[in-house]
């Protein structure tokens, strides 16, 4: 009867053994306590910074234990949609970005799975305590569906060693035109025996920076009613200007990609004079490019017009809450959210790890933000970001943001191609073509929006 067992190979026996061991584990493993509440986090840096604070919370509040889980953003997005639409198991609270939030809140209010926090924020005075523009990415039709984690104001970082050696005074820079004029002596191309040097890390293929600069100028992809406005005059002006930066005899831009060894090497060699820098990117540079320590300084972004906005915004995260959780449980989870996001100790730790400043204005007086930063030549980097935080532009959350970004990015590529093909390298000369290309992008985006019946009806 057992003769057939003798024919099994060692590999088959190993598989059988693993299967039996797994079965025993699943039967005997300890089950999660009913008081455990999953908290999904997609950013490893956030997860690591939170761990000791969550342990403290769990020790003090065993009846409302928080179980943090590191989940990739694409996986989290799929699981959230599945949970909200079909009731599959999901977290009670989670951190997500603007693009994910925009899709989750794109339907009618009664179908949105995120808890509406508007009245609670108002009752607890948080609409005033938290930097007001930081609510805009999580807001739809006047209702707020997330607790802001950050602000992400944008500054300009520049090679202070090169600038000061050349006798350049950055205080003379107020606008982007000033930036090109004042920094021009550092531009170096085609010189014998030396590497080229360009004034700005910006390229026509970098679609992330185009909306950042459009927002700074007062433009953007959508208006307050979620209608696409790609073809606005201010967007056309910004795109035409960027095209002149990226090509032609007075090109000032270089492609030195972030998060890449090749891009970092260009920066270390001094081939990049300045870069557009949100607070979180300052943290990335400190970790990834330590060789630039003491060779950089920060300053406000040059404005598009005199007296204009000297900052923009790039990126963002919020904490959302599952609407299906009972009111009693949610109130306890809300206490945890306040414990985490409004903690002076965590705000200081997060800044030291990542340079990210908090949106809670009550935390902006912490001494950590005034500490001289050796990486930025002794400047109080935190204070410089905080000074611009109240002026970050408002953003509109649309589920069609990615489509708008793709269409505008393609328009910029085509504009640069047009400039090269026709030898047109001035803003005035490129404006008509910029308007034409953005009008085409606007029409294409509208067609895309019209094809999506569910989202169209929800707007």
pLDDT tens-place string over residues 254-273: 999 999 999 999 999 999 99
Please compute the mean of the pLDDT values over residues 296-323 and round it to a whole number: 97
User: In the prediction, which pLDDT does 264 show?
Assistant: 96
The better pLDDT of the pair 375, 103 is held by 375
Over 80: is that where the pLDDT of 86 sits? yes
Q: What gap in Å lies between CA 448 and CA 391, rounded to an integer?
A: 32
User: In the prediction, which pLDDT does 411 show?
Assistant: 97
Per-position b or e across 373-409, b if 16+ CB within 10 A of its CB: bebbbebbbbebbbbbbeebbebbbbbbbebbbebbb
Q: Please give the backbone phi and psi of residue 298, each rounded to the nearest 5 degrees, phi first.
A: -115, 150
Over 80: is that where the pLDDT of 150 sits? yes
CB–CB of 303/175 below 8 Å?
yes
Q: What gap in Å lies between CA 191 and CA 172, rounded to an integer?
A: 27
Residue that the structure tokens 């977290």 belong to: 91
pLDDT tens-place string over residues 45-61: 999 999 999 999 999 99
Lowest mean pLDDT of 54-68, 79-93, 281-295, 426-440, name the range.
79-93
Q: What gap in Å lies between CA 406 and CA 81, rounded to an integer?
A: 23
User: In the prediction, which pLDDT does 303 show?
Assistant: 98
Please compute the mean of the pLDDT values over residues 181-195 and round it to a whole number: 83
pLDDT tens-place string over residues 349-369: 999 999 999 999 999 999 999
Over 70: is that where the pLDDT of 229 sits? yes
User: In the prediction, which pLDDT does 191 show?
Assistant: 63
Residues 6+ away with beta carbon under 8 Å from 294: 161, 374, 375, 377
Over 50: is that where the pLDDT of 2 sits? no
Confidence of residue 31 (pLDDT cuts 50, 70, 90): very low
Q: Name the token pair of 356.
A: 């990210």
Lowest mean pLDDT of 238-247, 396-405, 433-442, name the range.
396-405
Q: Which residues pair with 319 in a beta bridge?
A: 95, 147
Q: Can you list the domains of the chain with their CATH numbers? A: 36-152+315-391 (3.40.190.10), 154-313+397-458 (3.40.190.10)
Over 60: is that where the pLDDT of 96 sits? yes
């Amino acid at each position: 009867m057992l003769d057939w067992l003798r024919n099994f190979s060692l590999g088959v026996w190993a598989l059988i053994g693993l299967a039996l061991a797994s079965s025993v584990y699943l039967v005997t493993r300890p089950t999660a306590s009913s008081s455990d509440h999953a908290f999904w986090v997609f950013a490893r840096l956030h997860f690591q910074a939170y761990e000791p604070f969550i342990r403290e919370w769990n020790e003090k509040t065993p009846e409302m234990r928080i179980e943090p889980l590191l989940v990739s953003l694409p996986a989290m997005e799929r699981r959230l949609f599945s949970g909200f639409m079909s009731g599959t198991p999901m977290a009670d609270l989670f951190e997500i970005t603007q693009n994910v939030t925009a899709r989750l809140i794109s339907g009618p209010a009664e179908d949105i799975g995120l808890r509406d926090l508007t009245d609670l924020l108002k009752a607890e005075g948080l609409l005033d305590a938290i930097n007001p523009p930081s609510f805009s990415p999580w807001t739809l039709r006047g209702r707020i569906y997330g607790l802001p984690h950050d602000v992400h104001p944008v500054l300009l970082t520049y090679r202070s060693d090169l600038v000061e050696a050349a006798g350049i005074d950055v205080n003379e820079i107020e606008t982007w035109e000033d930036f090109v004029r004042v920094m021009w002596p550092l531009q170096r191309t085609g010189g014998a025996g030396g590497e080229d040097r360009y004034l700005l890390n910006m390229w026509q293929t970098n679609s992330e920076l185009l909306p950042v600069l459009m927002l700074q100028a007062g433009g953007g992809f959508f208006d307050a009613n979620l209608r696409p406005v790609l073809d606005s005059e201010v967007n056309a002006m910004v795109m035409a200007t960027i095209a002149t930066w990226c090509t032609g005899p007075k090109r000032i831009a270089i492609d030195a990609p972030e998060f890449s060894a090749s891009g970092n090497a260009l920066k270390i060699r001094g081939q990049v004079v300045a870069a557009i820098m949100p607070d979180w990117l300052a943290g990335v540079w400190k970790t990834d490019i330590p060789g630039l320590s003491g060779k950089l300084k920060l300053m406000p972004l040059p404005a598009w017009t005199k007296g204009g906005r000297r900052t923009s915004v790039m990126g963002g995260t919020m904490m959302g809450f599952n609407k299906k959780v009972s009111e009693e449980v949610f109130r306890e989870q809300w206490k945890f959210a306040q414990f985490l996001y409004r903690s002076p100790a965590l705000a200081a730790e997060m800044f030291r790890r990542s340079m990210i400043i908090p949106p809670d204005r009550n935390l902006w007086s912490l001494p950590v933000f005034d500490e001289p930063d050796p990486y930025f030549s002794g400047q109080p980097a935190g204070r410089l970001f905080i000074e611009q935080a109240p002026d970050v532009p408002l953003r509109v959350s649309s589920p069609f943001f990615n489509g708008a970004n793709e269409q505008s990015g393609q328009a910029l590529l085509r504009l640069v191609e047009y400039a090269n093909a026709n030898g047109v390298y001035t803003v005035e000369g490129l404006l008509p073509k910029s308007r034409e290309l953005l009008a085409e992008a606007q029409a294409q985006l509208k067609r895309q929006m019209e094809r999506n019946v569910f989202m169209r009806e929800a707007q």
